[in-house]
């Protein structure tokens, strides 16, 4: 598989100057996780197979975003029920 160089990045909640406690993970960088986008697509597909609703929510919370925009994703009360 050839990787595109694109990534799905998640920033952990809390102090951004504090590195994650589990630092031996190959996708952990300081206070964030960065997965190759091709791997993330496989994770999303598997999540939707296990639970379509939660997998869809995970997909909504991921994707391409403006790095200068906010990082919060809003869910309705119905989505969280």
C-alpha to C-alpha distance for 4 and 74, rounded to whole angstroms: 29
What local confidence, expressed as pLDDT, does residue 52 receive?
95
Instruction: Give 74's pLDDT tier (boundaries 50, 70, 90).
Output: confident
DSSP letter at 19 equals P
Q: What is the pLDDT of residues 8-67, one digit of tens each?
A: 887 777 887 887 776 677 888 888 888 888 888 999 999 999 999 999 988 888 865 666
Residue keyed to tokens 């975003």: 65
What local confidence, expressed as pLDDT, does residue 65 receive?
60
What local confidence, expressed as pLDDT, does residue 73 receive?
78
pTM score above 0.75: no
| Residue 42: both structure tokens together | 């496989």
C-alpha to C-alpha distance for 4 and 22, rounded to whole angstroms: 26
Please state whether beta strands 28-29 and 32-36 pair in parallel, antiparallel, or not at all (unpaired).
Answer: antiparallel
């Amino acid at each position: 598989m050839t990787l595109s160089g694109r990534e799905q990045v998640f920033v952990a909640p809390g102090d951004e100057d504090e590195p994650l406690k589990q630092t031996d993970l190959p996708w952990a960088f300081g206070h964030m996780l960065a997965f190759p986008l091709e791997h993330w697509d496989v994770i999303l597909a598997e999540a939707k197979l296990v639970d379509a609703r939660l997998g869809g929510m995970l997909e909504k919370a991921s994707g391409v975003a403006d790095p200068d925009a906010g990082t919060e994703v809003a869910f309705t009360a119905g989505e969280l029920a």
